[in-house]
Chains A and B, each alone.
Chain A
Amino acid sequence: MLAARVLGVLGVLFVLSIIVFAMMYLAPGDIVKNLLGNRPANPDVVAAVREQYRLDDPVVVQYLTWLKGFVTGDFGESIRLQVPVAQAIGDRIAITAALCGLAFLVSVIVAVPLGVRSAVKAGGWVDRAGNALSILGLSAPTFAIGLVLLYLFAYYVPIFPVYGGGDGGLDTLRHLVLPAVTLALGLGAIIVKLTRTAMLRELESDYVTFARSRGLGERMVRRIALRNAAIPIVTGASLVLTFLVGGTVLAETTYALPGIGTLLQDSVLFKDIAVVQSLTLLVAVVIAVIALLADLAYLLLDPRVSRTLGARA
């Protein structure tokens, strides 16, 4: 089953790579001009670009050359930044990774216990507050939350920096607090909802009644239920992931963080095709890998699935 999943993911990535490659042709305007950007279009440079992208060869050869470049780490040249795409991405990936990691950590630490508590005391004030918060978190666009926080904590009560990524170390961390909280609100809303729904269902099940009737403590009962709820929660991870990608772009733009998100946005607006292509495909690869990891976690969490898997293998 896992092998089939891996093959499926490879298939999806293959189709995506074709679509991403085709982007070069879908962009309005002359391909060479798009690839040149605002460099002067003298015949030598044009010839060099045609040579680099093999524009005179059949499309299949162009695609394979491009794909080979992508796989070997040669992502081409950014026409906007005038540096190799790999370098442009490398310079910015740390801050985005830190932002996502921080936001994910904060949201899980807050949202899972909140979701559990909402389910345990369903209808209580924690539940109602959590519910209101999660509806708000799901409905408010990341940038709206970001702008409110920015106004409040960077302007009205200036305890955090307004814009930028800081000078590294603790200063960067300080710069990341507001963006991370912004992102964590949306993420947390999804996780609270997932956790609450899963826990509510588990707490209604017979094994919880049976455990209570045998005198097991409420903490133990909750632990057992959460262990069972972990399966649907992890399965819902894909939702969180897609949100995280979009949210990161918005959060970085709102706070002008020099990360992957702003790189993508600027490149899109500038029609810096090489960067856009590389980033899109990279994100797809990362998502595919994480989705596979979630599948693996699912296998570890559910003995029923692992056993049928073992039987089939």
Chain B
Amino acid sequence: MTVLLEGLTVIGPAGTMVEPVSAEIAPGATLALIGESGSGKTLTAKSIVGLLPRGFRATGSVTVAGQALPVERPGDDAAWRRARGRSVSLLLQDPFTSLTPVHRCGDQIAWTVEAAQGHRLPRGARRAAVEERLAEVNLPARVADAFPHELSGGMRQRVAIAAALASDPQLLIADEPTTALDASNQAEILDLLRRIQLERRLSVILISHDLGVVRGRTDQVLVMRGGQVVERGATAAVLAAPEHPYTRALIEADPVVAARSGARIAAEEAAPSEVEPLLVCEGVTKAFGVRTVLDQVDLAVAPGAIVGIVGESGSGKSTLARCIAGLEREDAGSIVLAGSALAPGRGSRTPDQMQIVFQDPYSSLNPMMSIGAILSEALGVAGRASSEVPGLLEMVGLPAEFARKRPAELSGGQRQRVAIARALAPEPRLLICDESVSALDVSVQADILALLARLREEIGIAILFISHDLAVVRMIADSVTVMWDGRVVESGPCHEVLEQPAHEYTRLLVAAATRENAVPVEGKD
């Protein structure tokens, strides 16, 4: 029943993408593949189910319970039909796109059952099979009649798990199965997977960029970088005593590790209470149609302070940031910056008041403009000359020749640095970072956080740091405000809120961030 990978190699149009990978996974055991984007972990997964993109091929062998998978023949549908589903299934990252939107959830599960059995089922048996699979993932039978859009993200991922396992495979590959979910859903899905795995004696390959997901839930780990396995071993041992410098860097950069050790990137500064705050929001309220997204929100940011706002998607944290920036108009409440009240909307605001750094580094720079043109324009707004572009680049840690490049030539982290430079050009009083590091790899995240901390030290800019990731906020913010369902549920100095959370919701977030509720694997961790 063991799963064996031997010399599995992925070759792309530009040469070898993944160097030979070998591993053995016992029934009921989990192998973790960790690495950042571009490390080859997803290609490895796709090669095992024969779904490599056009132009890619694989060599080597994969054996599941004594049966070899046709990994060297990616286009051979006939050969793969017997293997896919019954031997191996793949669970994808995003439950919002992995289910077809126009078919009912029950049908999508039933297809797998029918494909595995090789024939269509009569109505009654089909219904019964679907309900049994839904029960396994703790979903009620009525979900069978729902369309995916009628379910929450967490429920969709459960449906996807049920569909992936409905063919009773021996190996499940889960490719970042919780990355697209909110923190409170993540743990539930991981624990559900773990429980089903133990019940079924299922071998699992868990792919993740997130060490926290891997910790306590996997037995073996392969650390991949640039298509190569740089370190391997028992998960607990590797995480406790990494040998390869890259693994060590990954672990150090991991916010969870930092959160556990209490390490910080920025020195924590207590806001001097006698200083007048730079930004004061009082009773800010905003509704989209009938839905209230901000309900009487109060917030204060002292000059030179880093204030974190934490909450899950839909908590209203981004809307608050956008109201402060004037990109949304609040319905009620006041926003006062440096003593003067700001009217809703951009009309009354000037670039030197506040700037935003957005989440997605790939769409926050105009692809048709050079970096130099982007920065000159931002400098020009404040009446500064284009000759200051090199200085600005240097400030964010980029060489001056980047001015000639276009955004497409830059990595995600470099683009985010340019976005920060653009935001700094008009010399704003307040910098708003709206999930500015969420789309970046962990090691890059740490660099950007360090840059922000340094900027605060050097130019004394105040930063409003918005994130869904408590662990990241903990590393940089002086004080933190927790938002839930459009309201502020808790706020105070960072260490107080995170160490003695008063609100139940904050406790849930803190637990999710430090993965304290993870099911330990046979006491190894």
> For window 42-90 of chain B, which residues contact chain A by CB distance below 8 Å?
49, 51, 77, 81, 83-86, 88-90
Q: B246: CB under 8 A from chain A?
A: no
Tell me whether B90 and A209 are in contact (CB under 8 A): yes
List residues 175-230 of chain A with CB under 8 A from any CB of chain B: 205-207, 209-218, 220, 224, 227-228
**Complex: chain B residue closest to A210, CB-CB:** B98
* Contact indicator B111/A211 (Cβ below 8 Å): yes
- Residues on A with C-beta less than 8 A from B84 are 212-215
With A210-B92, A215-B86, A216-B115 in contact, is A224–B103 under 8 Å at CB? Answer: yes
In the assembled complex, B112 has its CB within 8 A of some CB on chain A: yes
Given A206-B92, A214-B164, A307-B147, check contact A224 B100 (CB 8 Å): yes
Minimum distance in angstroms from B345 CB to a CB of chain A: 28
**CB–CB B166/A228 < 8 A:** no
Q: Any chain A CB within 8 A of the CB of B116?
A: yes
Please tell me if B94 contacts chain A, counting CB pairs below 8 Å.
yes
A74 is an interface residue with CB less than 8 A from chain B? no
Report the Cα distance A210→B149, complex, angstroms.
Answer: 17
Q: How far apart are B98's CB and chain A's nearest CB, in angstroms?
A: 4
Q: Does A301 contact B (CB under 8 A)?
A: yes
List residues of chain A with CB within 8 A of the CB of B164: 210, 213-214
* B101 contacts partner chain A, Cβ-Cβ < 8 Å: yes
Min distance, Cβ B64 to any Cβ of chain A, angstroms? 13
Interface status of B163 (Cβ within 8 A of chain A): yes
- Cβ-closest chain A residue relative to B49: A213
Cα–Cα distance between A224 and B115 once the two chains are bound (Å)? 14
Q: For B90, give its contact among A210, A224, A231 (CB under 8 Å).
A: A210
Whether A304 touches B112, Cβ cut-off 8 Å, given contacts A213-B89, A214-B85, is no
A76 to B160, CA, bound (A): 64
State whether A307 touches B149 (Cβ < 8 A): yes
| In the bound complex, CA of A211 to CA of B81 (Å) | 11
Is A303 interfacial (CB-CB < 8 Å)?
Answer: yes
Shortest Cβ gap from B180 to chain A (Å): 11
- Establish whether residues B111 and A220, one from each chain, have CB atoms under 8 Å apart when the complex forms: yes
Minimum Cβ distance to chain B for residue A159 (Å)? 42
Partner of B97, one of A206, A216, A301: A206
Interface residues in B460-488 (C-beta closer than 8 Å to A): none
Q: Which residues of chain B come closer than 8 Å to A303, judged between CB atoms? A: 101-102, 147, 149
Q: With A206-B94, A206-B97, A301-B102 given, is the CB distance from A217 to B81 under 8 Å?
A: yes
Known: A207-B97, A307-B149. A215 touches B102 (CB 8 A): no
- The reply to whether A214 and B102 form a contact with Cβ atoms under 8 Å apart is no
Q: Closest Cβ of chain B: how far from A300's Cβ, in Å?
A: 10
- B:99-117 near A, CB below 8 Å: 99-103, 111-112, 115-116
Asked whether A302 is an interface residue with its Cβ less than 8 Å from the other chain, the reply is yes
In the assembly, what is the distance between CA of A305 and CA of B369, in Å? 38
Minimum CB–CB distance for A199 against chain B, Å:
14
Which residues of chain B come closer than 8 Å to A211, judged between CB atoms? 100, 111
B150 contacts chain A at the CB level, 8 A cutoff: yes
Chain B residues near A220 (CB, 8 Å)? 111, 115
Q: Which B residues are in CB contact (< 8 Å) with A227?
A: 100, 102-103
B97 to chain A: which residues have CB within 8 Å? 205-207
Instruction: Count how many pairs of residues, one from A and one from B, have CB atoms less than 8 Å apart in the complex.
Output: 87
Minimum distance in angstroms from A168 CB to a CB of chain B: 44
Give chain B interface residues in 398-418, CB to chain A under 8 Å.
none
A231 to B98, CA, bound (A): 18
A302 to B147, CA, bound (A): 10
B167 contacts A by Cβ under 8 Å: yes
For residue B481, give the distance in angstroms from its CB to the closest CB of chain A. 33
Q: A209-B92, A220-B111, A227-B102 are known contacts. Are A214 and B167 too (CB-CB below 8 A)? A: yes
Task: Check if A228 sits within 8 Å of B102, measured CB to CB.
Answer: yes
Please judge, given known A-B contacts A206-B97, A307-B150, whether A212 and B51 are in contact too, CB under 8 Å. Answer: yes
Min C-beta distance of B233 to chain A, whole Å: 28
Q: Which of B51, B147, B166 contacts A213 (CB 8 A)?
A: B51
Query: Complex Cα distance A207/B86, Å?
Result: 18
Contact digits for B162-197, partner A, Cβ 8 Å, 1 yes 0 no: 011011000000000000000000000000000000
Residues of B within 8 A of A307 (CB): 147, 149-150
Q: Tell me whether A216 and B149 are in contact in the complex, defined as CB-CB below 8 angstroms, given that A206-B94, A209-B92 are known contacts.
A: no
**Please, how many angstroms separate the alpha-carbon atoms of A205 and B98 in the complex?**
8
Bound form: Cα–Cα A224–B111 in Å: 11
CB-contact partner of B99 in A207, A218, A304, under 8 A: A207
Closest to A216 in B: B115
| Nearest-CB residue, chain B, relative to A302 | B102
CA distance A209 to B99 in the complex (A): 10
Q: How far is the CA of A224 from the CA of B112 in the complex (A)?
A: 13
CB distance B112 to A215 under 8 Å? yes
Q: Are A214 and B112 within 8 A (Cβ)?
A: yes
Complex-state Cα separation, A231 to B99, whole angstroms:
16
> Of B98, B101, B116, B166, which one neighbours A304 at CB under 8 angstroms?
B101
The A-contacting residues of B in range 145-166, CB under 8 angstroms, are: 147, 149-150, 160, 163-164, 166
Q: How many Å lie between the Cα of A161 and that of B84 in the bound state?
A: 56
Which residues in B have their C-beta under 8 angstroms from that of A207? 97-101
Q: Which chain A residues border B86 with CB–CB below 8 Å?
A: 215
- Residues in chain A near residue B98, CB distance under 8 A: 206-207, 209-210
B residues less than 8 Å from A302 (CB atoms): 101-102
Q: Give the nearest-CB partner of A227 in chain B.
A: B102
B-chain residues with CB within 8 Å of residue A212 when the two chains form the complex: 49, 51, 84
Cα separation A206 to B83 with both chains bound (whole Å):
20
With the chains together, A217 CA to B86 CA distance in Å? 13
Q: How far is the CA of A188 from the CA of B222 in the complex (A)?
A: 52
Q: Are A215 and B92 in contact (CB under 8 A)?
A: no
CA distance A228 to B103 in the complex (A): 9
List 23 A–B pairs whose Cβ atoms lie within 8 Å, in order of A's numbering. Answer: A207-B98, A207-B100, A207-B101, A210-B90, A211-B100, A211-B111, A213-B49, A213-B90, A213-B164, A214-B84, A215-B83, A215-B84, A215-B86, A215-B167, A216-B111, A216-B115, A217-B115, A224-B100, A227-B103, A228-B100, A228-B101, A301-B102, A307-B150
Closest 7 CB pairs of A and B: A215-B85, A213-B90, A206-B97, A215-B84, A207-B100, A210-B98, A214-B112
New A-B pairs, 18, CB < 8 Å, besides A206-B97, A215-B167: A206-B92, A206-B94, A207-B98, A207-B100, A207-B101, A209-B98, A210-B92, A210-B163, A213-B49, A213-B51, A213-B85, A213-B90, A214-B84, A214-B167, A215-B83, A215-B112, A215-B116, A216-B111
